[in-house]
Structure 1
């Protein structure tokens, strides 16, 4: 392999290069220096945790087949891990990154080197911290281009650009989540949303703060590949560009059949690749994102973040045109987009949907309460209990003395159990709001329980939203795998009628899916990656409440299907 340093900068516009390079894969090696950084947003200075003095953090530009080596130095005051969101981590499970799932955190002053390979994936992924709420500012793009000599399965774009949607607090996000967890309540809402680190000029920005709106310059007639990443903590977004159509060609680093739309929905953790043709009269056009607020009666930050699409030679005095965005609660538009995507079966990475299912699971998910104990004065949740969340009525509790993966590898008992149920303990009308505050249903015990499956088993999950406490869309992220989305719908899943809706021919392939508000989704995947893999809601308000579980995949009996030992510098608890 050839060794080269990765080109790491903030988000940049890059021309796609067609120069002849060696056919062999590269070793891409760089360092992440994580420490405090003072930045100015919304008219005030704020100290944040950042990578390499930038917000967003550095973009990693690699090719399919490359090996990535990232030396992470934690000079921040917080425990830290980095998750490479969507990377399969085959034979590199120790590099996946979720705190206390695959590793103990990197302590302040410590370091750890993440090593992994990117064979079999092309498209847009991203990286972020997987410790507490550090990912509010510790995140960046991971762009995987085709190997040299290979092409995209769509027209060659003139240029590529990365659009990172984020979320901003005028305070320390770690303090926000810690205060909420201490009293069992919901964290305070963010103050703004961002595009490539900037709220945009619809906010009351200070005149002394320059470059506060991201700008993409385009040449009329050319087509651009936009890689849109939702790195926000809790915001699901509608995204539009005024007067322009977008052609979706990929989601979560998996190619899709081309899908033309003027609006996309992108949930936290999701990525969407779109082709944009600069076919409008020269001028300035806003790129805009604002939340899809699926939860009824919940107060959210409803602001709109903007960037500017600028045609060549347009004067800065031109007023940008703002798109008409869907209503905050426009579930029909959200569902139309998310349910109409299909997989590109001619992709070199496509595999047919497994026809036989080995593990059938029906998993309810949603909010609830956990027992506050005898000292109820410290709990500010409903009924003087602690806000919680669960899957099959188990609220997931992370271990603290050892990661799940290390306990699995070393066969150490007492860290977790393998009794996560395939069915909910009680069958009820899951989406009936009359059950929202039924104390017999909303109390959720805390347990560290995982589901164990044999290597190469095909797992099918019905993900059923509930109306407990509240009804909303949950973006569910599976580590270590892509899954096929066979069907989605509203209400209670009916195995007799809804199974007839399964797309077994060309379903979309994802690692993160927004399960429809008050509804269900069916996913299927082959468990061909040994280890312990986190499956959780990517709304970070819900993750520490316990809306998560883990899947333990046993070894397969060959060197290629056996969990390797941890690296020498593996962090210790």
Structure 2
């Protein structure tokens, strides 16, 4: 008997699958998204969720490079919402990018917003998701032999609780959030969880054929390992950019990241588990495994239960970072790269977990009975109640400051084992970093060991960037820049800065507007680990930000 308990979970997302297009043949495509409450059952629990068009995961958008996609979003639920089109660069048009109070005010209940999704050179797999508090919870010319079929796989998670209440409780307590009750593959937990065997995701394959798997990690707070029993895979793309083929028996995928890989059905026909579990260096995480099943077509007796793949240890940092280190751009005539070589803006940002005493005489549930916060360059982002984009465009004063630091105000040994507690205290701020149009930016992201070191999957809106270097420990410019890869670095939109390590990225600031950069661990961005770039207009008319649409949501 299934439980009849009903709670609300705010969590919706979906795929954007992008193919190539002949120049001059871009199209306008239109979709209708209706946000409403729908009933879904997982893990013996019947829950009312916010969904798009009654679907979980939501509708898949099919488009081609250079298309304009218009999505009419109708909010018929009882909560404010925004939608972010993750990895879409939105050239000159930040108005539909989606982060709440950065580029727009939320879409309020009973209203509509037509979002214009401006595609440029993206090709491959992207995704869309809610970006308001925790409200997100044949076509191609491939650079590899054409696969038999394409299969989207979305890694997600499930709480037997109201996720909005989970967020409110941990922010009020000052501690960390409760972990989820299950992970999901395409919306299903898999047959290792109760009441889930009948709904386990199954992929039917034919022996000898190759399948292109388009994977997104939509998990809220965890980097994930993924494996398929007895099968190797070949990675061919990440974050809507093709990569050199990378042969591996496992995948490491960060929240917000996409990985495209080829699966060759070359094993004796049977049933095989595909499975995913956490990579985590902390003590508090969901230690369960979500599964789907690869089912070969044919006449055979399937096993009573498939064998689980053998994963790296949950805290195997080397397995996590080594997979990511191996990604490389194609960097050939058909798929050239354009790594900025003459850097004009050199930035150095520290990424930290912080503590602050609780207000008054109350105690919090963080270490030393204090409150968790997080920061970039020791600044904890405090979002305004008027979005920064509107304030910038309409020259509204008093909403933000323009003095976000290019580097930390105070240098120290960022990754030593024991950092003095007086360095754990952040400052609050609503500041932006100003970039000149067409400046070439090198940004080194440095993890710190304040409170405790952890990986930080960093996502930059409005841009793809080249990951030119990475390492464990403190970044040393004289030593580490000589080891940069400027030949075939991967082109990414989300990159995991390793625990107590650093990552160097480069990009050209040629997309004017207001753009959010943040950690894609939702608890970290809720604690304030984010910042905002303003890229100024260029001199010519086609180098300026386009005007807002008439139906922008109001604050």
Q: TM-score, normalised by structure 2?
A: 0.94
Corresponding position of 1:111: 112
Cα separation, 2, equivalents of 1:145 and 1:85: 21
Matched, 1:394 2:379: yes
2:244·2:327 contact (CA, 8 Å) conserved in 1?
Answer: yes
Cα separation, 2, equivalents of 1:411 and 1:378: 41
After superposing on structure 2, the runs of 4+ consecutive aligned residues of structure 1 that deviate more than 6 Å are: 20-23
Matched, 1:429 2:413: yes
- Which stretch has the larger CA shift, 88-97 or 378-387? 378-387
Matched, 1:192 2:192: no
Corresponding position of 2:153: 163
Matched, 1:344 2:330: yes
Corresponding position of 1:3: none
Q: Tell me, what secondary structure is at the counterpart of 1:259?
A: strand
Deviations 1:339-371 (A, max 9, x none): 011111127554321111111111110200245
Deviation at 1:428, TM superposition (A): 1.0
1:271 to 258, 273, 289: 258
Corresponding position of 1:414: 398
Corresponding position of 2:8: none
- The alpha-carbon distance between structure 1 residues 47 and 422, as it changes in their structure 2 partners (threshold 3 A), is same
1:562 to 541, 544, 547: 544
2:167 to 159, 177, 183: 177
Cα separation, 2, equivalents of 1:238 and 1:382: 28
1:509 to 487, 491, 494: 491
Cα separation, 1, equivalents of 2:218 and 2:60: 13
Matched, 1:287 2:269: no
1:345·1:506 contact (CA, 8 Å) conserved in 2?
Answer: yes
Deviation at 1:318, TM superposition (A): 4.8
Corresponding position of 1:260: 247
1:123·1:145 contact (CA, 8 Å) conserved in 2?
Answer: no
Q: Tell me, what secondary structure is at the counterpart of 2:526?
A: coil
Deviation at 1:44, TM superposition (A): 1.2
Matched, 1:466 2:448: yes
Cα separation, 1, equivalents of 2:369 and 2:280: 26
1:376·1:385 contact (CA, 8 Å) conserved in 2?
Answer: no
1:191-340 equivalent positions in 2, closer than 5 A: 191-205=181-195, 210=198, 212-295=199-282, 298-313=283-298, 318-340=304-326
- Which stretch has the larger CA shift, 153-162 or 377-386? 377-386
Corresponding position of 2:505: 523
Deviations 1:107-147 (A, max 9, x none): 111110111222211000000000011111xxxxxxx954x
Give the number of aligned pairs. Answer: 541
Cα separation, 2, equivalents of 1:383 and 1:418: 34
Corresponding position of 2:4: none
Deviations 1:67-95 (A, max 9, x none): 10101111122110000000000132101
Unaligned runs of 5+ in 1: 1-9, 137-143
2:103·2:388 contact (CA, 8 Å) conserved in 1?
Answer: yes
Deviations 1:352-408 (A, max 9, x none): 2111111111111020024533x24163333443210001000011111x1111111
Cα separation, 2, equivalents of 1:17 and 1:474: 30
Cα separation, 2, equivalents of 1:448 and 1:17: 38
- The alpha-carbon distance between structure 1 residues 88 and 338, as it changes in their structure 2 partners (threshold 3 A), is same
1:353 to 339, 362, 367: 339
1:530·1:553 contact (CA, 8 Å) conserved in 2?
Answer: yes
Deviation at 1:22, TM superposition (A): 11
Corresponding position of 1:481: 463
Cα separation, 1, equivalents of 2:233 and 2:433: 40
Cα separation, 1, equivalents of 2:428 and 2:186: 37
- The alpha-carbon distance between structure 1 residues 365 and 43, as it changes in their structure 2 partners (threshold 3 A), is same
Corresponding position of 1:74: 75
Deviations 1:140-181 (A, max 9, x none): xxxx954xxxx1111111100000000110011111001111
Corresponding position of 1:532: 514
1:370·1:446 contact (CA, 8 Å) conserved in 2?
Answer: no
Corresponding position of 2:387: 403
1:455·1:556 contact (CA, 8 Å) conserved in 2?
Answer: yes
- The alpha-carbon distance between structure 1 residues 117 and 445, as it changes in their structure 2 partners (threshold 3 A), is same
2:239·2:257 contact (CA, 8 Å) conserved in 1?
Answer: yes
Deviations 1:454-513 (A, max 9, x none): 001111111110011111111000000001101111011111111111000110110000
Corresponding position of 1:363: 349
- The alpha-carbon distance between structure 1 residues 11 and 379, as it changes in their structure 2 partners (threshold 3 A), is closer
Quote the RMSD (CA, aligned, Å).
2.1
1:537-552 equivalent positions in 2, closer than 5 A: 537-552=519-534
Corresponding position of 1:4: none
- The alpha-carbon distance between structure 1 residues 380 and 96, as it changes in their structure 2 partners (threshold 3 A), is same
- Which stretch has the larger CA shift, 335-344 or 114-123? 114-123
Corresponding position of 1:140: none
Corresponding position of 1:490: 472
1:2-81 equivalent positions in 2, closer than 5 A: 24-81=25-82
Q: Tell me, what secondary structure is at the counterpart of 2:322?
A: helix
